């Protein structure tokens, strides 16, 4: 079966260079140690991790990093160019742009992580159930996946936001509603091959309950794939939120969402281009950093994903 | 072959029905009375009730769904609340613009992506390889609306080479096509590269080299044909994706396409129009995936057996 989404994943693996060179890896000592060593060998992945760490620090310490308030309007300094007092300039309400971007880090990270986590939980549960029990249950779940995956994801998220209303929590719901199907498919395909393994058969032979087999024996073996899916899902969610906010169905003003700041800067592109350019750069760097991390995890976890 | 195509077609039907169910129920459980929205304030309760009855809004959801489905099958997607025109004609009028944009974006993606991928594979780890792969990564990591604004700022505002927005002649399509096609070009370049490298490890390539062929005939005569198989499939999927994914590009560049209709419909809370636009674009994607599957089976006889 020629399945585009699954194919994408394998292709992405190839693109990351994992199927180009097969390095000989020393006999595994422990899962964690092995992965850490392999991950650290990847320079871009380390850069990604460093950037993500900095972003987290920015998000946590935002109030201490800037003397300004992200919501305080100061009409005396409207759309001022970058200067010593305002490093990235100010927006149309005289708010310090860097301050808004710093606080925006919080939104972007939460938006990146929460919906991705939600869709992982839904997708993993359904993928496990479908793959393990097979039959009608599996068919229903997989057809549901097909339907969700048939939608252009941004359009489906737009429709969900239209129905639920534009709030932060609804963005979580919209992105999770769109994102779970991909995870479910990957987990299911993993389960299908895992449930034929001897250790699962052995567990079943000694009378371990199905639920316990799924959670204790199969799920841990899906973890490498889930880690990669999670890390690579975050940048997707960040970009989606930015797009939704850009289209007016995501975060609402005056929330300092990066996508929203770019949108507000659109009108001053000629006179104050920094308002649109600076937050976009932050989106780009954040997305790149998570992509680097995801690629790094994928390469490091590759031996564990091939069963 | 015919059996395969039929089987694929049959799988698409329940998916399409599922899509209509999801779209309908998502958009028809929305709180807020569309009649009140249409007429603004100053209307009496019984007028609202009469219009609701006229629009069959008081029927059970199931009945309304089947009415919607029957209408959709006949090509009738209802009437726009705000524009008071049939949704189908609004969409069909806008579609050529979306189509032209997607076509140019796809052409850009292929013309840039495939040669870049081949060059990257042949000169693995060289400067061009790193450069191409860097651009490809940039393409998938940039928010489309932001790269669109950057293009507008540089090429329209600063350099004044191209018009900022609108859709009149060929100059208007250059920036949107590049912005929209960039990530597709990057994906194609990466795919071509990895696929070509994969194929190059095959025994028959070693044979070709062993019989004394130079590297170029090996690549273009033997390796490329097989390595482009997955690329062609992805290209077919991408065309559908580009048609449906032009929402943001159309908004930024002011192109009157189907994606812009969807965005405008959301802002105007024009439910039938949004419903029609989303259904139309999703159907396009399903048909595109179907075409990709059939194309792949056609190109690679090994698939049919599976």
Chain B closest CA to A305's CA: distance in Å? 19
pLDDT at residue number A116? 96
Residue A12 scores a pLDDT above 70: no
Which of A77-81, B86-90, B116-120, B257-261 bottoms out in mean pLDDT, i.e. has the lowest?
Answer: A77-81
pLDDT at residue number B31? 59
Is residue A14 very low, low, confident or very high in pLDDT (cuts 50, 70, 90)? very low
Which of A194-208, A232-246, B229-243 bottoms out in mean pLDDT, i.e. has the lowest?
Answer: B229-243
pLDDT at residue number B91? 93
Chain A residue with the nearest C-alpha to that of B146: A280
pLDDT at residue number B213? 86
Q: Look at residue B270 and give its three-state secondary structure.
A: coil
Determine what percent of chain A is predicted with pLDDT higher than 70: 90
Mean residue pLDDT of chain B comes to 85
Q: Give the DSSP H or E segment for B253.
A: helix B247-253
Residue A13 scores a pLDDT above 50: no
Determine what percent of chain B is predicted with pLDDT higher than 90: 28
Per-residue pLDDT tens digits for A252-299:
888 888 989 998 888 888 888 888 899 999 999 999 999 999 989 988
Interface contact A135, partner B, CB < 8 A: no
Is residue A186 very low, low, confident or very high in pLDDT (cuts 50, 70, 90)? very high
State the DSSP string of chain A: ---HHHHHHHHHHHHTTTTT-----PPPS-HHHHHHHHHHT-HHHHHHHHHHHHHHHHHHHHHHH-SS-TT---GGGTTPPP-SSSTT-B-TT--BHHHHHHHHHHHHHHHHHHHHHHHHHHHHHHHHHHHHH-HHHHHHHHHHHHHHHHS-HHHHHHHHHHHH-S-HHHHHHHHHHHHHHHHHHHHHHHHHHHTTSHHHHHHHHTT--HHHIIIIIIHHHHHHHHHHHHHHHHHHHHHHHHHHHHTTSSS-TTS--HHHHHHHHHTTTTT-THHHHHHHHHHHHHHHHHHHHHHHHHHHHHHHH--
Are B137 and A11 within 8 A, CB to CB?
Answer: no
Stretch 27-46 of chain A: residues touching chain B, C-beta under 8 Å: none
Residue B280 scores a pLDDT above 90: yes
pLDDT at residue number A23? 46
Are B193 and A248 within 8 A, CB to CB?
Answer: no
Q: Decide if A219 contacts A124 (C-beta within 8 A).
A: yes
Chain B closest CA to A247's CA: distance in Å? 7
Q: What is the pTM of this model?
A: 0.85
Stretch 260-299 of chain B: residues touching chain A, C-beta under 8 Å: 262-263, 266-267, 269, 274, 278, 281-282, 285-286, 289, 292-293, 296-297
Nearest beta carbon to residue B278 from set A1, A8, A159 = A159
Pick A120 or B50 by higher pLDDT.
Answer: A120
Average pLDDT rounded to a whole number, residues B171-175: 86
Q: Which residues of B238-271 are buried (b: 16+ CB within 10 A; e: fewer)?
A: bbbbbbbbbbbbbbbbebbbbbbbbbbbbeebbb
pLDDT at residue number B181? 92
Residue B43 scores a pLDDT above 70: no
pLDDT at residue number A256? 87
Residue A79 scores a pLDDT above 80: no
Stretch 43-62 of chain A: residues touching chain B, C-beta under 8 Å: none
Pick B118 or B171 by higher pLDDT.
Answer: B118
Q: Which residues of B touch A239 (CB under 8 A)?
A: 143
Chain B closest CA to A209's CA: distance in Å? 34
Q: Decide if B241 contacts B249 (C-beta within 8 A).
A: no
Q: Of the candidates A168, A189, A190, which has an alpha carbon nearest to the alpha carbon of residue A304?
A: A190
pLDDT at residue number B42? 63
Nearest beta carbon to residue A288 from set B141, B269, B281 = B141
Are A11 and B230 within 8 A, CB to CB?
Answer: yes
Q: Which residues of B touch A269 (CB under 8 A)?
A: 149, 152-153, 157
Per-residue pLDDT tens digits for B52-100:
777 777 777 788 888 888 888 888 888 888 888 899 999 999 999 999 9
Are B141 and A287 within 8 A, CB to CB?
Answer: yes
For B79, phi then psi, to 5°, come to -115, 140
pLDDT at residue number A293? 93
pLDDT at residue number A147? 92
Are A269 and B152 within 8 A, CB to CB?
Answer: yes
pLDDT at residue number B41? 59
Residue A21 scores a pLDDT above 80: no
Per-residue pLDDT tens digits for A23-41:
445 555 677 888 888 888 8
Interface contact B129, partner A, CB < 8 A: no
Q: How far apart are CA B161 and CA B170, in angstroms?
A: 13
Which of A181-190, A259-268, B14-23 bottoms out in mean pLDDT, i.e. has the lowest?
Answer: A259-268
Per-residue pLDDT tens digits for A200-211:
999 989 989 999
Are B289 and A162 within 8 A, CB to CB?
Answer: no
Q: Which residues of B touch A8 (CB under 8 A)?
A: 234
Stretch 60-99 of chain A: residues touching chain B, C-beta under 8 Å: none
Residue B47 scores a pLDDT above 90: no
Chain B closest CA to A238's CA: distance in Å? 9
Residue B142 scores a pLDDT above 70: yes
Nearest beta carbon to residue A235 from set B29, B141, B152 = B141
Fold of A29-66+96-305: MetI-like fold (1.10.3720)
Q: Which residues of A touch B266 (CB under 8 A)?
A: 158, 162, 247-249
pLDDT at residue number A7? 42
pLDDT at residue number B61? 79
Cα–Cα distances (Å) from A280 to A151, A262, B175, in that order, read 26, 6, 18
Mean residue pLDDT of chain A comes to 85
Nearest beta carbon to residue A143 from set B14, B157, B195 = B14
How many CB contacts within 8 angstroms connect chain A with chain B? 166
Q: Which residues of B touch A148 (CB under 8 A)?
A: 22
Chain A closest CA to B15's CA: distance in Å? 5
């Amino acid at each position: 079966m020629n399945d585009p989404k699954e194919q994408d994943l394998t292709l992405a693996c190839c693109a990351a260079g994992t199927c180009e060179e097969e390095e000989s890896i020393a006999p595994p000592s422990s899962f964690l140690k092995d992965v850490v060593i392999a991950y650290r060998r990847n320079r871009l992945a380390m850069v990604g991790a460093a950037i993500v760490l900095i972003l987290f620090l920015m998000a946590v310490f935002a109030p201490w990093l800037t003397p300004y308030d992200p919501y305080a309007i100061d009409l005396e300094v409207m759309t001022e160019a970058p200067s010593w007092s305002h490093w990235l300039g100010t927006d149309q309400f005289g708010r310090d742009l860097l301050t808004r971007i710093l606080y925006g880090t919080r939104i972007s990270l939460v938006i990146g992580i929460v919906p991705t986590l939600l869709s992982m939980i839904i997708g993993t549960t359904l993928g496990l159930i479908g793959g393990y029990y097979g039959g009608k249950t599996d068919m229903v779940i997989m057809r549901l996946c097909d339907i969700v995956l048939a939608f252009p994801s941004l359009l489906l998220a737009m429709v969900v936001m239209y129905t639920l209303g534009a709030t932060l929590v609804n963005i979580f719901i919209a992105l999770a509603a769109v994102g779970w199907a991909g995870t479910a498919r990957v987990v299911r395909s993993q389960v299908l091959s895992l449930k034929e393994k001897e250790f699962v058969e052995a567990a079943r032979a000694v009378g371990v309950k199905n639920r316990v087999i799924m959670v204790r024996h199969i799920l841990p073996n899906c973890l490498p794939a889930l880690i990669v899916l999670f890390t690579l899902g975050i940048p997707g969610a960040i970009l989606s939120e930015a797009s939704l906010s850009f289209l007016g169905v995501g975060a609402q003003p005056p929330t300092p969402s990066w996508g929203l700041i770019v949108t507000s800067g659109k009108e001053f592109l000629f006179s104050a281009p920094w308002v649109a350019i600076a937050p976009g750069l932050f989106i780009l760097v954040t997305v790149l950093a998570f992509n680097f991390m995801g690629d790094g995890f994928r390469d490091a976890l590759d031996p564990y994903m091939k069963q | 072959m015919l059996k395969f195509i039929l089987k694929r077609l049959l799988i698409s039907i329940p998916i399409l029905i599922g899509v209509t169910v999801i779209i309908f129920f998502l958009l028809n459980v929305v709180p807020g009375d569309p009649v009140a929205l249409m007429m603004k304030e100053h209307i009496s309760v019984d007028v609202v009730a009469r219009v609701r009855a006229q629009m069959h809004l008081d029927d059970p959801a199931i009945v309304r769904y089947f009415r919607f489905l029957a209408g959709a099958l006949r090509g009738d997607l209802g009437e726009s609340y705000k524009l008071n025109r049939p949704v189908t004609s609004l969409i069909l009028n806008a579609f050529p613009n979306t189509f032209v944009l997607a076509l140019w974006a796809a052409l850009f993606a292929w013309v840039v992506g495939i040669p870049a991928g081949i060059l990257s594979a042949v000169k693995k780890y060289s400067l061009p390889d790193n450069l191409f792969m860097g651009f490809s990564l940039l393409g998938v990591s940039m928010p489309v609306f932001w790269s669109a604004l950057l293009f507008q700022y540089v090429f329209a505002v600063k350099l004044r080479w191209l018009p900022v927005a609108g859709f009149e002649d060929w100059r208007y399509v250059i920036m949107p096509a590049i912005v929209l096609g960039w990530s597709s070009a990057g994906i194609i370049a990466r795919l071509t590269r990895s696929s070509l490298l994969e194929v190059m490890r095959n025994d028959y390539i070693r044979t070709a080299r062993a019989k004394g062929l130079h590297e170029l005939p090996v690549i273009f005569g033997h390796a490329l044909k097989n390595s482009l198989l997955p690329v062609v499939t992805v290209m077919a999927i991408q065309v559908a994706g580009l048609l449906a994914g032009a929402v943001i590009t159309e908004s930024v560049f002011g192109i009157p396409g189907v994606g812009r209709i969807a965005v405008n419909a959301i802002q105007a809370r024009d439910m039938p129009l949004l419903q029609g636009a989303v259904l139309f674009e999703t159907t396009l994607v399903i048909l595109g995936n179907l075409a990709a599957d059939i194309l792949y089976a056609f190109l690679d006889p090994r698939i049919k057996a599976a």
